[in-house]
Amino acid sequence: MGSVKDLEVLKHPSSNKSGRGRFIFSDRYSVFDWGEMPDHIPNKGKSLCISAAYFFEKMEARGIRSHYLGVVEDNKIQKLTDIQRPVDAMEVKLFRVLKPSKKSNFYDYSLYENEKNNFLIPLEIIYRQSLPEGSSVFKRLQEGNLKSEDLDLKEMPHPGETLNQPFIDVSTKLEESDRYLGWEEAQRIAYLSNNELEKIKKTTLLINQLIGQEASKIGLKYEDGKIEFAFDEDRNLVVVDVLGTLDECRFTFKGMPISKEIARLYYRKTSWFKELINAKKKDELNWKDKVKISPPPLPPRLKELISMAYCAFTNEITEKEWFEDIPSIRELLEETIQIINNV
């Protein structure tokens, strides 16, 4: 399916009926749209599966539709309360993925005009509570593609600033590199009605609130996250993919990151990252072909700390010890920051 998890298709979706499949969460990871990185992070897959299932079940209790059916233990579909050990598989409903056609210098979304149901909406919704260092918002503000007024701020923000209210952002989902959009363009390319667009925003805010509440109970600051939607057989809006995990969200503890941002902090100091940024500036569509060096592996101790961070997050957010002998989030992050600062 991608650089982070695999998809086992049990039943293919059609134009009027959902399919069925299993996400197999791997220990792979990806940063900066690169795809699979050279390392595997031990227990990352099981951590993602358990934490994602936890949030899906919390959403279900609040009446928010999703494609989640349950986690898989011993080839049986179960709820989290029924399983005895961490697992790496989740069963979900499947919907069609209709990719826009790539032209010489743009993407053509016209196929969505006549599609009515059972497909992934080709947008990624980003919800921002604050603006941590490294947020793409700062680059967009500098380039003039975003204004402080858009964020409900009277002046330019600084790294670490908490927003007055959540800012809902939107980007493409099915292009080679994610591209931020205005809501008018997002509505146009996905052929959404006004009501459907408002339902997306409303549901996003409810999910944003849920994740924020859950994070705060274990002492984490919830910075931002992302979510995807599809239309089911009756064109009901449903949440798809996964949410609430360390790969989909950015959390910090007293300013220290506890998400995939740990790996990003390390890689931003490498020559590979510098070449990647230059390639994206020269060619937004085909940049990856222009990067001639590969990303280096993570330092062994940093990889170990990232692994334990995933496990600690899952243990603490679910209030259950799925992974044994894992230090607290605070202990892990204190050592992590020391390593990053010395790179």
Residues of the chain whose pLDDT is less than 70?
1-3
Q: Which residues, in sequence order, are CB contacts of 271 under 8 Å at separation 6+?
A: 293
pLDDT at 155: 86
pLDDT for 1? 56
Closest to 284 (Cα-Cα) out of 200, 156, 175, 139: 175
pLDDT score recorded for residue 2: 65
Q: Where are the domains of the chain?
A: 5-341
**Residue 244's closest CA among 264, 227, 257, 265?**
227
Q: pLDDT, tens digit, for every residue of 129-141? A: 988 877 889 988 9
Residue pair 226/219 in contact (Cβ under 8 Å)? The answer is no
- How long a stretch of residues is the chain? 343
Nearest to residue 168, comparing CAs of 201, 203, 212?
201
pLDDT recorded at residue 204: 96
The Cα-based distances of 337 to 301, 310, 332, 334 in angstroms read: 12, 16, 9, 6
In the structure encoding, which two tokens stand for residue 172, read together? 């493409």
pLDDT tens per residue, range 151-194: 888 888 988 888 988 999 999 999 988 899 999 999 999 999 99
pTM, full prediction: 0.89
Read off the DSSP letter of residue 85: S
Class of domain 5-341: alpha beta
What pLDDT shows up at residue 154? 84
| Cα torsion 174, 177, 182, 184: sign | negative
